Amino acid sequence: MTKILVVDDEKKIVEIVKAYLEREGYEVSAAYDGKSALEVVKQQNPDLVILDLMLPQVSGWDICRALRVNSNIPIIMLTARDDVTDKIVGLELGADDYVTKPFDPKELVSRVKAVLRRTAVNRTPKAVLKMSDLAINTEKREVRRHGESIELTPMEFDLLATLAQNPGRVFSRMQLLDTVQGVAYEGYERTIDSHIKNLRKKIEPDAGQPRYVITVHGIGYKVPETADA
């Protein structure tokens, strides 16, 4: 059974989320502060964590940072503010998704299912990724459309492969820089936009209306969950 940890200092929220998730067949644990959350993760090794940002003792930011040191447990962050900065920082720390309070429990359940679906697929990386009429061979570092090769720079290929391996997941510019180069420098992340622009010219039927590499305004980029989107 899939195990989910809900971390929030508002017990009413935990009760509601727990009830909705258990109705869907998930095994749900709860923690009401950051220190307890880290203990539960260590003891139970949940399949997904729903994590409030504003927690006593240890903040959601610090928990996310700690988990990402040696774990790929999917994390959905809860934020009380619809603040782009909060979302960007959360994504850069390694969160897989975010939900703004107040939220519809049904929407949260849908987000949980989507994140679990994506991470289940991504646990076994494929050598050849398919995006509609594009074939991305991560071993040969080749991209083809209808059998014809598309020449990409190393950076363009790495960006495309990273996004294609995580359909539906939003990457901030800093996340992409860190993933493809192993290091990210503030101020340099905007160069990602230039690489994405050049990549689109090569792979998109219409670079002005991209189908494969989608801009998520104020945050970064993603590829659609469905290859033919």
Q: What is the pLDDT of residue 57?
A: 85
- The fold adopted by the segment(s) 128-222 is Arc Repressor Mutant, subunit A (1.10.10)
Mean pLDDT to the nearest integer, 20-44:
93
Q: How does the average pLDDT of the chain come out, rounded?
A: 85
Please determine, for residue 74, whether its predicted confidence score (pLDDT) is greater than 70: yes
Q: What is the pLDDT of residue 122?
A: 55
Phi, psi at 135, each rounded to 5°: -120, 120
Distance (Å, whole) CA 185 – CA 117: 32
Burial degree of 57 (CB within 10 A; 0-12, 13-18, 19+): middle
Q: Start-end ranges of CATH 1.10.10.10 in the chain?
A: 128-222
102 upstream amide cis, omega within 30 of 0: yes
Q: Which residue's entry shows tokens 């076994």?
A: 124
Assign 184 a pLDDT band (cuts: 50, 70, 90).
very low
Q: Start-end ranges of CATH 3.40.50.2300 in the chain?
A: 3-122
Please determine, for residue 226, whether its predicted confidence score (pLDDT) is greater than 70: no
Q: Which residue's entry shows tokens 């359909």?
A: 167
Pick the CATH number of 3-122 from 3.90.550.10, 3.40.50.2300, 3.40.1210.10, 3.30.1490.20: 3.40.50.2300
Please determine, for residue 31, whether its predicted confidence score (pLDDT) is greater than 90: yes
Distance (Å, whole) CA 101 – CA 117: 23
Distance (Å, whole) CA 57 – CA 189: 32
In this structure, of 39-48, 51-60, 125-134, the range with the lowest mean pLDDT score is: 125-134
Please determine, for residue 229, whether its predicted confidence score (pLDDT) is greater than 50: no
Better pLDDT: 101 or 19: 19
> What is the pTM (predicted TM-score) of this model?
0.57
